[in-house]
Amino acid sequence: MNVKQSRIKELVTELNIASEVYYSGQRLIMSDHEWDEKFHELEVLEKETGIVLPDSPTVNVSHEKVLGAKEKHEFPALSLPKSKSVDDVLKWVSDKDVNVSWKLDGLTLVVTYDNGHLTKVVTRGDGEVGSNITHLADAIQNIPKAIKYDGHIVIRGEAVISYSDFESFNSRCDNVYENPRNLAAGSCNPLSQADAIKDRGLIWLPFAVVYADMYIDTWSDRMYWLRNQGFKTVDFETVHFSAALPSVIDEWSNRVSNNAYPVDGLVITYDDSNYASHGTLTGHHDTRGGFAFKWADEKADTVLKNIEWSVSINAINPVAIFEPVRLEGTTVKRASLCNLSECERLDIGGIGTRLSVIKANKIIPKVVSAEKVGEFLIPDHCPVCGGITRISISDLLTKVLVCTNKNCIAKNLCKMSRFVSKHGFDIYGLSEKKLMSLVNKNLISSSEDILDLTIRADDMKAALIDEDGWGEKSIGKLLRAIAAAKTINAEKFLYALCIPMCGVDTSKLLAKHYKIEDFLSPDIWSDPFLVELVGDVKSSELQKWFSNENNKIFVKKLLLACDIKYPSKAGSKLFNMTFVVTGKLNHFISR
């Protein structure tokens, strides 16, 4: 075996392993930038040698590992040809009308309706066979159970999670995901339960009507038809003259930083549906199905100056501080290293380590490679409170550093921010900056102290009256807001407790069926309905949290201070009973 053949085999193995990990929502073992470079190297070598291995990613659709119930696609979900060259795009477009849309960075789902009813939701899988995840449809926004169309229709779209929802989820979850795409893929696992992923902010955005019993002439009209059916679709723009396309691509590229959802390029589609449907198949590409334009990453080399350790509720996260570089028109001097596993993968060293940095998808500064200098030092003590640290392994086999001090100020500040947030006690005017001010004046040290401020009004005024941002009027206003917040809905109360994996939607579910006091009794953990309601993992987390004596004391103290409002059916005599209704149902016209 010669050098080129050996390299082809090596690249195929590396890329396939990286793809399987990537599409299963696990931690990254190879950056997108590195994957693209190796994929391109493989394409060149295959062209030079004429050797294409059967399992080469150049002839196989990148896919998530197919688990659970397998479902053969009615229409194969093929990959798009791609390029980083605008000239290649123009050559493909020729003189045809086209549409420019985002290449959303999530997980492709194929959704089918028959006679107006949702019949199945299937992941892309290997392009031929995917996994049936219809049971998760309720947890994914923008997949209605019924539409006003009586025929058979197959729609392809992308399940994505916004940057804000991703940050919100990661801030309250021990299983820290690398990026929104990994969280979307991990959520759309056939083994997932709808209730367990409902609060993650997943939304499905259609980008193609693959088949419909009726015929619609153009791709753009198909998108407008979907919008008239109530779907939110991928954003797009129709371009009638190929000469205008380069400027349109530039305009869209400049809008990436303001996009709510992650994207990794643009998709160009022919508007003429008939012309697009008569393409040929080359490898795993449909030559007229669309063309993916991917941005060439602007890369800069720099030198590591320091590693800062940022404390959140559940982890201490490393942040690389380096010599400033210019990327995508902005100055960049720091980038998150996510966790210890990512530092190991990159082989980060000490001060002086040479780094290559890009802006992933033109937005997020990211270290893509490193030339190690010195040793990577993991702190033994929390940078904020001085508490002892330890390395924890998450369910995703990701190494994270955690502070073991339960009274860590930084961790508690994060918890207090959630406690007073709009989904929690909703105390208007109590920003993180003001919380820190209260901590520094020894007025509070944890969430439970916040509600006590109403009985310590004199102490508060004496400590803060001369401080910037505080005055008698603002202090009085805050105290009234705290007093008002003590009357609180049960779901907000539960969310404010910062229970792992208990987000907004899970809190709502629990509040509908249980009273807060129920969780203080050991009897609840033998209730099979709880597991049915939120799943094994969340049920276990709830039991672990409420079994902690300090947490019990915390909840009991809050219950004494608060007036909890429950949904009308919580705790009622009819709760959890099943009724079977027989007879004929008549529908009457509304008057």
User: What CATH number does residue 496 fall under?
Assistant: 1.10.150.20
Beta carbons within 10 angstroms of residue 324's beta carbon: 13
CATH code for the domain in which residue 22 is found: 1.10.287
The answer to whether 189 and 165 are in contact (CB under 8 A) is no
Q: Given this model, what pLDDT does residue 357 score? A: 94
Instruction: Label residue 464 by pLDDT band (50, 70, 90).
Output: confident
Tokens 């205008």: give the residue.
244
Q: Which residue type occupies 559?
A: L
Residue that is last in its domain, among 267, 293, 319? 293
Domain membership of residue 221 (yes or no) is yes
The CA-atom distances, in angstroms, between 172 and each of 43, 165, 543 are 42, 11, 17
Would you say residue 175 has pLDDT above 70? no
C-alpha 115: how far from its chain's center?
33
Percent of the chain at pLDDT > 90 equals 47
Same domain, 156 and 226: yes
The answer to whether 455 and 489 are in contact (CB under 8 A) is no
Q: Given this model, what pLDDT does residue 1 score? A: 60
Higher per-residue pLDDT: 404 or 172: 404
Same domain, 441 and 320: no
Same domain, 198 and 230: yes
Instruction: Label residue 472 by pLDDT band (50, 70, 90).
Output: confident
The CA-atom distances, in angstroms, between 119 and each of 27, 132, 134 are 32, 11, 8
Q: Given this model, what pLDDT does residue 572 score? A: 46
Q: List CB contacts of 347: < 8 A, sequence separation 6 or more.
A: 370, 372
Largest CA distance in the chain: 83
Same domain, 304 and 289: no
Percent of the chain at pLDDT > 70 equals 88
Same domain, 33 and 106: no
Domain membership of residue 58 (yes or no) is no
Summarised one tens digit per residue, pLDDT across range 473-518 is 889 999 999 999 999 999 999 999 988 878 777 888 899 999 999 9
Summarised one tens digit per residue, pLDDT across range 30-80 is 766 677 778 888 888 888 888 888 778 776 654 444 444 788 999 988 888
Whole-angstrom Cα distance, residue 9 to residue 481?
65
Same domain, 17 and 162: no
Higher per-residue pLDDT: 575 or 188: 188
Residue that is last in its domain, among 362, 380, 403? 403
Instruction: Decide the pairing of beta strands 487-489 and 203-212.
Output: unpaired
Domain membership of residue 145 (yes or no) is yes
Q: Which residue type occupies 493?
A: F
CATH code for the domain in which residue 343 is found: 2.40.50.140
Residue that is last in its domain, among 459, 485, 511? 485
Instruction: Label residue 589 by pLDDT band (50, 70, 90).
Output: very low
Summarised one tens digit per residue, pLDDT across range 360-398 is 777 789 999 999 999 999 999 998 889 999 998 865 577
Q: List CB contacts of 505: < 8 A, sequence separation 6 or more.
A: 195, 198, 199
Whole-angstrom Cα distance, residue 423 to residue 489?
10
Domain membership of residue 204 (yes or no) is yes
Instruction: Report the number of distinct structural domains present in the chain.
Output: 5
Domain membership of residue 481 (yes or no) is yes
Higher per-residue pLDDT: 454 or 66: 454
Please identify every residue annotated as catalytic: 103
Helices and strands in the chain: count of H runs, count of E runs: 20, 22
Q: Given this model, what pLDDT does residue 172 score? A: 62
Q: List CB contacts of 256: < 8 A, sequence separation 6 or more.
A: 263, 361, 362, 363
Q: Of the ranges 132-146, 234-248, 405-419, which one carries the lowest mean pLDDT score?
A: 405-419
Domain membership of residue 362 (yes or no) is yes
Same domain, 179 and 257: yes
Same domain, 282 and 327: no
Instruction: Label residue 576 by pLDDT band (50, 70, 90).
Output: very low
Host domain of residue 201:
70-293
Q: Given this model, what pLDDT does residue 63 score? A: 44
CATH code for the domain in which residue 121 is found: 3.30.470.30
Token pair belonging to 515: 């009273």
Same domain, 377 and 425: no
Same domain, 477 and 501: no
The CA-atom distances, in angstroms, between 351 and each of 321, 368, 400, 462, 491 are 10, 17, 21, 46, 47
Whole-angstrom Cα distance, residue 39 to residue 14?
10
Instruction: Label residue 286 by pLDDT band (50, 70, 90).
Output: low
Domain membership of residue 579 (yes or no) is no
Same domain, 309 and 370: yes
Domain membership of residue 311 (yes or no) is yes
Q: Given this model, what pLDDT does residue 355 score? A: 95
Most confident of 154-163, 182-191, 400-409, 498-507: 154-163
Q: Given this model, what pLDDT does residue 67 score? A: 43
Same domain, 127 and 153: yes
Summarised one tens digit per residue, pLDDT across range 222-278 is 999 999 999 999 999 999 988 999 999 999 998 988 889 999 899 999 999 888 887
Cα four-point dihedral sign 96, 100, 154, 116: negative
Whole-angstrom Cα distance, residue 95 to residue 83?
19
Whole-angstrom Cα distance, residue 109 to residue 156?
6
Q: List CB contacts of 193: < 8 A, sequence separation 6 or more.
A: 135, 534, 535
Residue 417: closest CA among 320, 492, 313: 313
Q: Given this model, what pLDDT does residue 86 score? A: 93
Whole-angstrom Cα distance, residue 461 to residue 438?
11
